[in-house]
Amino acid sequence: MVSTDTLIITGIPLIYLGFALWIGIRSRGEADQSTTEGFVAGDRRIGTIVLFFIMAAANNSAFAFLGGPGFAFDQGAIAYYIIPYSAFGLAMWYVLGPKVSRLGRKMGYVTQAEFVSDRFDSRWISVIMAIASVAAFIPYIVVQIKGVAFILNEASNGLIPFWLSGMLPFLIIGFYVITSGMMGVGWSNVLQGIMMLALAWFLGLYLPSELHGGIQPMFETIAATNPSHLVVGLPEMSIARYSSFIVVSALGSIMWPHLFMRAYTAEDESTIKKTAVLYPLFQFIIVPILLIGFAGVTVVEPGILDSPDRILPYLVTNLDINPVVIGLFFAGALAATMSTADAIVHASVSVSIRDFYKPLFNPEGEDLDETFWMKILVFPTLAVAYYFAIFSSINIVPLQAAAYGSIIQFLPLILGTLYWPRATKEGALAGIFSGTLVTAIFTFVVPTPLSIHAGLWGLLVTTVLFIVVSLVTDVEDPEFVREMIRTTRPDLSSSKGEQQPSGTVADGGKVTNENHE
Fold designation for 11-492:
Sodium/glucose cotransporter (1.20.1730)
Res. 271: pLDDT tops 60: yes
Q: Which of 18-27, 107-116, 206-215, 231-240 has the lowest mean pLDDT?
A: 231-240
CA 208 to the chain's CA centroid = 30
121-164 per-position pLDDT tens digit:
999 999 999 998 998 898 888 888 888 888 888 888 888 999 99
Q: Which amino acid is at 458?
A: G
pLDDT of 268: 92
Residue 513, SS3? coil
Separation of alpha carbons 391 and 393, rounded Å:
7
Q: What is the pTM of this model?
A: 0.87
371-426 per-position pLDDT tens digit:
999 999 999 999 999 998 888 776 655 566 667 788 999 999 999 999 999 999 99
pLDDT of 116: 95
On whether the CB atoms of residues 290 and 72 are closer than 8 A, the answer is yes
Separation of alpha carbons 52 and 274, rounded Å:
8
Percent of the chain residues topping a pLDDT of 90: 47
Cα atoms in the Cβ-side hemisphere of radius 13 Å centred on 263:
29
pLDDT of 88: 82
41-78 per-position pLDDT tens digit:
999 989 999 999 989 887 777 667 778 888 899 888 88
Q: By 3-state DSSP, what share of the chain in percent is helix, strand and coil, each rounded to 5? A: 75, 0, 25
Give the start-to-end residue ranges of the domains of the chain: 11-492
pLDDT of 27: 85
Separation of alpha carbons 133 and 464, rounded Å:
22
**Mean per-residue pLDDT of the chain:** 86
Helices (H), 396-453: 397-407, 410-419, 425-444
Residue 454: closest CA among 471, 468, 436: 436
Separation of alpha carbons 152 and 202, rounded Å:
21
On whether the CB atoms of residues 296 and 68 are closer than 8 A, the answer is no
Q: Which amino acid is at 303?
A: G
